[in-house]
Structure 1
């Protein structure tokens, strides 16, 4: 098994593959998503471009962006990823199909990806951002042991022209060790 495939109690996280496009578009094209900067995708072609870029990034010797799909019972139910902010800081983000929300999947995947960030990538800290109205993502951040570091940010949704507040949560290596 690849070092980039992560198994949890209920999930398998693995790098995005080109053949995942249609399954990814089922959640990435969900028009009810209104608090994510880059979603929903309007077309399958937009999702295919995202997938192509994600696959190319995995081919880098040291990928700066690592996109995983979340598999539950062999089905893709969402995506989760890490992006290098600098040499020792990564940002984590996720999206989950609405049929699988409120079942603990994002928290389970997030805990596994934090371990990956600290143990495999030697991260010193991991951050996450969410819309101030996105209580579900904020709750996941808290369950991951992250603490609120900044509540003064803003984000502009280019598709709608809406500006909203943004939260930034963080956990560092020491905090992660203290929570074990």
Structure 2
């Protein structure tokens, strides 16, 4: 009788041991999936979930992008990006008039003003304004372009003003340098 109990006990131990070994293998396979990193110089492939999100976001129009931005700011508790003050440009114009009243000297600071733009190239102009002016997102650049006539930059050097004028005229804007 003792022999039978001993055999049953050994069989029971063997079953629990084999179950643990099988579970151990399954856990190791799930927890440590082997991934091979991509070689240097090659972009890491994005997950299908990220690819799907990127595809959906690129299909949005400007109003939907603005709404998405506002929702993300609220949900993630992000501060608003600083907006360039429109009143600051208006204050720069009287300063230029005071300089003209003073004795004529060599002008060293210039103001770039956008007077109008080609409606067919509006999207390209918005993208260019976003790239050229610091602190602008797409929505701010769109509002800036639609508020024409407006001052693009004030108190800049002649070379910088010429570069800015050239870049913006390529995308359909009419620019004046004062």
- What is the TM-score normalised by the length of structure 2? 0.24
Q: Greater share of strand residues, 1 or 2?
A: 1
Which structure's CA Rg is the greater one? 2
TM-score (norm 1): 0.24
Pick 1 or 2: higher relative contact order, CA cutoff 8 A, min separation 6: 2
